[in-house]
Chain A
Amino acid sequence: MAARRWDWVQLLTAVFLHLTLPCMCQGRAEQSYSEALFMKFLADGRVSATFDFSTVWSVHPLLFSNPGNVQHYGIFPKSLAEVVAHYHVQELHLTLTQGQWRTRVWGYPAHPAPPGAELWAWFLPEADSEKEWPGLVDAMSGLLGAHLNAIDSASSFQPLVSFRPNGAILSKDMSNSSALLRYAALPRETVCTENFTPWTKLLPCGTAAGLGELFEAESLYDCDYHSLGLHFTPHCLDDGCGQVGVRLSLTLTVVFPPPVTSNPSILEWSLKSLFHRPLTSACPLAFSSTVTVETNSIDGVQVSLSQTPSLTGTVEVAGRRRDRAVFDLHSLTNSTTSKPLPPLSVSSSSWAYHIMPEQPELLVSRHLVGSGHDWGGLATEITNSAPHTVEVLYLEMVPWFFRLYLHTLSVSQATVLSQHYVPAKDRRRAHMLELRLSLPPLSTSYLSLQFRRAHLKWTEHKPDAHHGFYINSAVITTVLSECPNCTSLAAQDQDLAVLRLYSEPLLVSLPTPDFSMPYNVICFVCTVIAIAFGSVFNLTTRTLQPAAAAKEKLLTRILRRIGVLSKQKSD
């Protein structure tokens, strides 16, 4: 009897599965997930690792925005999907970064990001962005455990042209307005495992299989640069963009210190030595799971691999050959079933610190001018070492308590093609200056702008008031036709890559009150005034008239007391 009942249960289960699977599979069929890791040596011997986990889902973004239209999320993270749908988001970009990408030495970044947190979003055309933005900010800070709720209207911006939608454009109206865009950055935000863990939860395989296996917080944060990214965009499913879906790309860029060996001219790394974890499998949900190693990143340095790659290829980037070796995790794990992958190790010979890389064509650096607590200035240097004119967008965002003087804006070398300036309003809106510049070939252009520091109310100072206040990184945006210094895995895919360069954020000190002293000072000053000033004032302003009283006058008594008059003997 018992066995028969068991059969029934099995049968029912089978029928149930048979009925439900097709629709689940259908849901999954519309989703495709790929994971990729791109490793290369940077010019100063550091090793950069760029992870890219992307999910493409063929649901139209407008349908997606209504939760009723989507029943099954499949491998798409539901927590994020709900946020996107609830706040009518068309595009969402969030990066959390520790450290500064050193473009001068490392070349252009694959996923540019300013230090700290950066969040920008385009809302759907029918959305009320003014209303949705604060909610979205709060939801994202909850989702990734970041301190994004510090973003308010005084730190949100609507750049006119610098941040255009990255993905497919849904309606033509939005192409020339930034009413649906919100941008905010928090340069002081620190990034740690509390952000990283929720981020890994968004991966289909988490840290259980595939490239996620490599994630160990200690090694990922003990490095020279660390940048988490979350990019949600509408995505063209075919060439003509007839069908539009959505794409979620989760990125992580890590730069490790140079893996020096006992022989100073040999660098050697393996996935195990960098990440402190072995790679044992590919994510079964991914249709492609690859590790790519660039073998000739530094000129004159030979790189050898311990393992034969599944595929080798050469990419032509700006007339220079870049050899890449691709390891397909699916095929590797199939051939060596249930055994860990043989550790991939890469070693390079004849390496030395003083090999200076060829400088990328476009560089930006910004610094503070002036000392003291009154006037100050921003000085930006933009170098164009390309042999042709380059057009760039320059975006400067300055908090309201720095009073910018636009008439002090001076631009040398470069020509200003257009200028868009939004002045600040105290406590409500920050300054935003957007310039379209034309940089002459082989030139360094200087921009400078003066400001004065405002006095904040004493309750407006943040904790650690003497630390100073940050000014967001300036953003240089340009469209590159070729990308010789790109770190990206697939620079050639994105024809006409949009390149963003972020300058260093600035730390500026404001006049800070001594929060403990006012009481002492008030008491002290009042006492001094009461004692010293009172009597002196009395003495110097009083005009005395002869009086009948024979008593010694108050005045002489005071004088005698304070010693101005000598006590002569009255003879």
Chain B
Amino acid sequence: MRSILLYLCGLVYLGMLPRDEFNRRSFVDENALMVGLVRREFRDSQSISDYAEELADFGVDQEGLMVWLEASFSRIGLEVYSQNYSAVLPAVAGPQAASVSGRSVYGVLRAGRASSAESLVFSAPSGEAANTHGLAVMLSLAKYFKSKNYWAKDIIFLVTTGGEIGVQAWINSYMGNAVKGINAGPLPGRSGAIQAVINLEIDSPKIEYARIMIEGVNGILPNLDLVHVLTHLSEMEGIPSALHMGWEGVRSHGRYSKPDLSDSAHKLYTVASLMAHQAPGLPLAGHAPFLRHRIDSVTVRGVGSGPTAKPLLNLARALEGSFRSLNNLLERLHHSEFFYYAPSRGRFISIGLFMPPLGLLLAPLMLEGLSQWLLARGFRVAAAECSGSGDSSQQQLLHPPTFPFHSILGMVLPSLMSGVLLLILPRLAAMLLTPLGPGVLAAALAWGCLLSIFLPLFSSSTVPASSWHMTKCFSLILQLLLLVTVAMMNYALSISLVLFLPLPSVLSQPSTINGGRLGRVLGQLFLLLCSPPLSILYLCCLYNTLLASNISPSSDIRAVLVGGVGVAGRGLVLAYNSWYFAEAWLFPVVCVVVWPAWLMGWKLACQTVQEKRREESGRGGGKPDSSASHLHSD
């Protein structure tokens, strides 16, 4: 009961964090940025619309577009280079082809007063999603930047095709890291160390607000200062900015309007949305691959074309100001936070504030682990209570711990092997069938999962109680360590695991030979319902229904489930591909860390514990009932 209480406290604490009383106002910590100090002088809205008109002619002709871009960049006076790449996707979702190839074009604006030791990247993807207006803004800013001589860092204008794989190919070649699976051509021209990246995606000639996307591969975030520069400058230019559907954005954008939500609910909603995008750690926007190399980067996405929309000139001016601020940097961005959540514009929750709730959420694992340790050493609650009441005849004796190595190994090794099996199964499936579709991928994984779940059911063994307690203690502490480790790297992933993983393992009880059959089956059912595959499905349904707003919450459960399964399928393919190309950990972490952690609990729940009478009587002074049932009767 205490565990559940602590856990609930943790959840409530977490839910309170987005409220203004619990977090801080954001501010620019790096003084060198001097945000908004210079007068923004870009006024050439004509050139934006001219470029947009020319770009619109190309439609889906990517190669023609690239040739035109090369010519435009060199007409502006940049050094123009291009890179070819090709890749074979291990898995595909839908009718998409498995082999991808394309060309990235980039122009380098050399800073006259510097030695090309540092550079900034202005990128705009071209391809699946139309980014005509983003490219138009980029080109007209390139033309304007070229006419100025105040640059202290080179600026690379990068246009990639083929989504994140194109960006991945480019940045990996730039960093000299070859990625298996991507065959990237050499980069003919380079600049120095990249200090910051701004990725621009706009698909309409007017925008209502700028959505700023920050989540990188493996949940890495850019420095808060960079985010602040962009939000602050776009506010100054009269364009509201929002992190995801931050509530200002939601309010200004009719389609997503949720007028029934209160202010604090909106903030909670924004943080939940941020976490939902951060937790998978997959490259969801063009800036994400840069963060993998510790380069601060953000995506600015212009959204909306409603009646209150502003022309692109305002956003271009905001970008001009941002580049000039970044140009001022003496050092890499390092002053402000790297771990944060922003509940609304101008406020942030720092790591010092959001770690304590996680501690509360994980405390049950720790305490339960400790109590299992004591139980394994023969600690009995009844005896303690008696001795407390002054009965000296009922002394308790903690014997030194004995480690049931074979039991622990018998739990850990098969679980890990099952995880490794999950990791390998898609590859085995790929030998028979390429490319893998979401269905095949899911089937391969499900087969592995079911095998691992059913084996302990049929080979359930009977173990002594002390050995069971010690094994459970070990599994709980191991789970705790895994979750804390994940939290250090990707807090949101850890939180979404904490929602499902710890409670069932904490509450699971062994069944004795004599009885508790019902309790055991209920416990197993609870565990099964919280198993990683189902948890992923719940999270996908939640995401699809509440955050992605594809389905109205009022629709029936079937639509919700179908939507969730669709998201899960696409997510699975993305996770599998990103593991190959972007070194995203999600797939291996779920297979080798989360799944074995759950499976250990499952194995324990399937075991039958020997009646303790004989064992206890050997030690003397034991009550006939099982100590475990006493403890858990709580």
Interface residues of A (CB under 8 A from B): 44-45, 98-100, 102, 105, 115-116, 187, 221-225, 255, 257-258, 352-354, 365, 367-372, 377, 379, 464-468, 470, 504-509, 512, 536, 539-540, 542-548, 550, 552-553, 556, 559, 562-566, 568, 570
Interface residues of B (CB under 8 A from A): 1-2, 6, 71, 74-77, 79, 110-118, 149, 175-177, 190, 192-193, 292-295, 330-332, 334, 367, 370-371, 373-374, 381-382, 384-390, 392, 395-400, 631, 634
Q: Known: A257-B149, A543-B400. Contact between A467 and B332, CB under 8 A?
A: yes
A61 to B79, CA, bound (A): 47
A507 to B331, CA, bound (A): 11
**Cβ 8 A contact of B75, one of A354, A466, A565:** A354
Q: Contact between A372 and B294 (Cβ–Cβ < 8 Å)?
A: yes
Residue of B149, B371, B373, B385 ringed by the most chain A CB atoms within 10 A: B385
Q: Contact between B367 and A353 (Cβ–Cβ < 8 Å)?
A: no
A222 to B193, CA, bound (A): 24
User: In angstroms, how far is the closest chain A Cβ from the Cβ of B289?
Assistant: 11
**Cβ 8 A contact of B371, one of A371, A512, A564:** A564
How many pairs of residues, A versus B, come closer than 8 Å at their CB atoms? 146
Q: Contact between A570 and B389 (Cβ–Cβ < 8 Å)?
A: yes
A371 to B293, CA, bound (A): 6
Q: Contact between A467 and B149 (Cβ–Cβ < 8 Å)?
A: no
User: In angstroms, how far is the closest chain A Cβ from the Cβ of B95?
Assistant: 35
Q: Contact between B294 and A371 (Cβ–Cβ < 8 Å)?
A: yes
> Which residues of chain A come closer than 8 Å to B292, judged between CB atoms?
371
* 7 A-B pairs closest in CB distance: A369-B176, A115-B115, A224-B112, A466-B331, A371-B293, A546-B395, A507-B117
Q: Known: A222-B149, A563-B367. Contact between A509 and B390, CB under 8 A?
A: no
> Which residues of chain B come closer than 8 Å to A542, judged between CB atoms?
398
Q: Known: A543-B400, A545-B397. Contact between A258 and B387, CB under 8 A?
A: no
Chain B residue nearest in CB terms to A255: B112
User: In angstroms, how far is the closest chain A Cβ from the Cβ of B290?
Assistant: 10
Q: Contact between A540 and B370 (Cβ–Cβ < 8 Å)?
A: yes
Q: Contact between B331 and A464 (Cβ–Cβ < 8 Å)?
A: yes
A181 to B117, CA, bound (A): 28
A548 to B395, CA, bound (A): 9
User: In angstroms, how far is the closest chain B Cβ from the Cβ of A511?
Assistant: 11
Residue of A221, A224, A369, A467 ringed by the most chain B CB atoms within 10 A: A467
User: In angstroms, how far is the closest chain B Cβ from the Cβ of A444?
Assistant: 9
Q: Contact between B176 and A370 (Cβ–Cβ < 8 Å)?
A: yes
Chain A residue nearest in CB terms to B176: A369
Q: Contact between A258 and B115 (Cβ–Cβ < 8 Å)?
A: no
**Cβ 8 A contact of A470, one of B75, B117, B634:** B117
A504 to B381, CA, bound (A): 73
What are 6 A-B pairs at a CB distance below 8 A? A353-B77, A368-B193, A504-B192, A543-B400, A550-B387, A565-B381
Chain B residue nearest in CB terms to A373: B294
User: In angstroms, how far is the closest chain A Cβ from the Cβ of B167?
Assistant: 15
Q: Contact between B193 and A508 (Cβ–Cβ < 8 Å)?
A: yes
Q: Contact between B117 and A506 (Cβ–Cβ < 8 Å)?
A: yes
Chain A residue nearest in CB terms to B371: A564
Residue of A100, A257, A547 ringed by the most chain B CB atoms within 10 A: A100
> Which residues of chain B come closer than 8 Å to A552, judged between CB atoms?
387-388
A105 to B631, CA, bound (A): 80
A187 to B116, CA, bound (A): 11
Q: Contact between B370 and A507 (Cβ–Cβ < 8 Å)?
A: no
Q: Known: A465-B331, A507-B192, A546-B395. Contact between A100 and B116, CB under 8 A?
A: yes
Q: Known: A371-B177, A464-B331, A544-B398. Contact between A568 and B385, CB under 8 A?
A: yes
A332 to B367, CA, bound (A): 96
Q: Contact between A100 and B397 (Cβ–Cβ < 8 Å)?
A: no
A167 to B175, CA, bound (A): 42
User: In angstroms, how far is the closest chain B Cβ from the Cβ of A566?
Assistant: 4
Q: Known: A369-B175, A370-B177, A536-B370. Contact between A187 and B2, CB under 8 A?
A: no
A542 to B292, CA, bound (A): 46
Chain A residue nearest in CB terms to B171: A371
Q: Known: A370-B175, A543-B398. Contact between A468 and B334, CB under 8 A?
A: no
> Which residues of chain A come closer than 8 Å to B115, judged between CB atoms?
99-100, 115-116, 187, 504-505
User: In angstroms, how far is the closest chain B Cβ from the Cβ of A420?
Assistant: 26
**Cβ 8 A contact of A377, one of B176, B384, B388:** B176
